Structure 1
Amino acid sequence: MAERLTRVHAPEGVFPAAQYTHVVHGTGRLVAVSGQLPLDGDGRLVGAGDPAAQARQVFENLRRCLAAAGAGFDDVVKLTYFVTDMAYMPAIREARDAVLDPARLPASSALQVAALVGPGFLMEVEALALVDG
């Protein structure tokens, strides 16, 4: 349950962040979700050239992967974003905020990469979660 997670938004001497939490810790069983791409259940790219559509699909895939481990978005302690252009981050944040409480954001990292595993992919997102053991 999310109540066993502690979020430290601004550790002493660290500038507060608006888009993520600096530190999230808790106890439980670790769930690692591999980077999710904007693919539908048949392996087709969703939202070619559309970062908002791709972000929604990525978060839907994350939801399904978390559920397979008995977890949900409230259990997520860390998200890592891989994007081919940092200009896609607002679309990703919008998709994220549709499934995560903006007042209880996980720790996060965002990296711009030259390319992802295949053509047409604008982003990939991986997650770490803690669930009851």
Structure 2
Amino acid sequence: MTRSPVHTSDAAPPAGPYSQAIRAGDMIFVSGQLPLDPGGTLVGLGDIKAQTRRVLDNIAAILRAAGSSLDQVVKTTVFLTSLDNFSGMNEIYASVFKSPYPARSTVEIGRLPGGMLLEIECIALAERKTP
């Protein structure tokens, strides 16, 4: 199986030695996305809903670049700096994903840099091409 990096300028650039996503066969593994715009600037300081929207926009852009979409996401992991932000995150999350919803884990973590309230990573299927 080959693996290839996925990159788009429509999402925040990697802040270290990692790819925005890796495509391996029919699977796409999206690295944890932060609430940064494509220029790398934090969006929505202190606003979990704005930050969640930005993170999911980044994921959508990366999946498009990989030839997939949010409809193909099978698993997400949400990292929150406080579970007090769960309901705000969940409201935006539920407005973006459709039933059947992806499997999901949500974990409270110690902290993220610079006022970031969450990070989300996901695994998706590549879109199937019909002959």
**TM-score normalised by structure 2 residue count:** 0.75
Aligned to 2:103: 107
Write the deviation string for residues 80-110 of structure 1: whole angstroms up to 9, x where unpaired: 0001001112122222122211x31111111
Q: Which runs of 4+ in 1 moved over 2 A?
A: none
**TM-score normalised by structure 1 residue count:** 0.74
Aligned to 2:81: 84
Aligned to 1:125: 120
**Percentage of matched positions with identical amino acids:** 41
Is 2:30 the partner of 1:33?
A: yes
1:71 deviation in Å? Answer: 0.8
Letter in 1 for 2:119: E
Q: CA RMSD in A?
A: 1.4
The total of aligned residue pairs comes to 104
Letter in 2 for 1:89: F
SS in 1 for 2:30: strand
Letter in 2 for 1:98: S
Write the deviation string for residues 30-63 of structure 1: whole angstroms up to 9, x where unpaired: 0000010000111110000111110111111111
> Larger RCO: Structure 1 or Structure 2 (Cα < 8 Å, ≥ 6 residues apart)?
1
Q: Give the Cα–Cα distance (whole angstroms) in 2 for the partners of residues 110 and 98 of structure 1.
A: 17
Aligned to 1:66: 63
Write the deviation string for residues 14-43 of structure 1: whole angstroms up to 9, x where unpaired: xxxxxxxxxxxxxx7000000100001111
Q: Give the Cα–Cα distance (whole angstroms) in 2 for the partners of residues 53 and 127 of structure 1.
A: 19
SS in 1 for 2:114: coil
Letter in 2 for 1:106: P
